[in-house]
Amino acid sequence: MIKIDQEKLEQFSRSLEEKIEALAPEPLKSARDEVTKTIRLALDNLLQSLDVVTREEFEVQTKLLERTRETLDALDARLSAMGPQSAESESSEEEEKSS
């Protein structure tokens, strides 16, 4: 998965538009505007076809994963604190139920 900084993407797009405007003479303003729109659409379509997320979405998922990891570590610690006797008693209870 690729993460995209939305602000940098907007800056790139604006920079590209400014360069096109600077290169195209004023009589070709309508063509210049059409080229700018076409390039913006092509860029948007390219990004949609890739597996990209915004930085905000990436940060949210990172925090969620961190909380999940903390919960898993806490549960693992609790399970370890119970020791092997707890696991053995659960195993014998399951055997009695299946008999």
pLDDT in tens, 33-91: 787 788 888 887 887 777 777 788 889 999 999 999 999 999 999 999 888 765 555 55
Q: What is the dihedral of CA 40, 43, 47, 49, to 10 degrees?
A: 110
Look at the chain and count its residues.
Answer: 99
CB distance 4 to 52 below 8 Å: yes
What pTM did the predictor assign? 0.42
Clarify whether residues 45 and 69 are in a common domain.
Answer: no
Clarify whether residues 38 and 74 are in a common domain.
Answer: no
Domain that holds residue 61: 56-99
Clarify whether residues 17 and 46 are in a common domain.
Answer: yes
Clarify whether residues 18 and 46 are in a common domain.
Answer: yes
Which DSSP symbol is given to 50? Answer: S
Clarify whether residues 22 and 64 are in a common domain.
Answer: no
* Domains held by the chain: number: 2
Clarify whether residues 69 and 95 are in a common domain.
Answer: yes
What is the tens place of the pLDDT at every residue in 21-49?
777 777 777 777 787 788 888 887 887 77
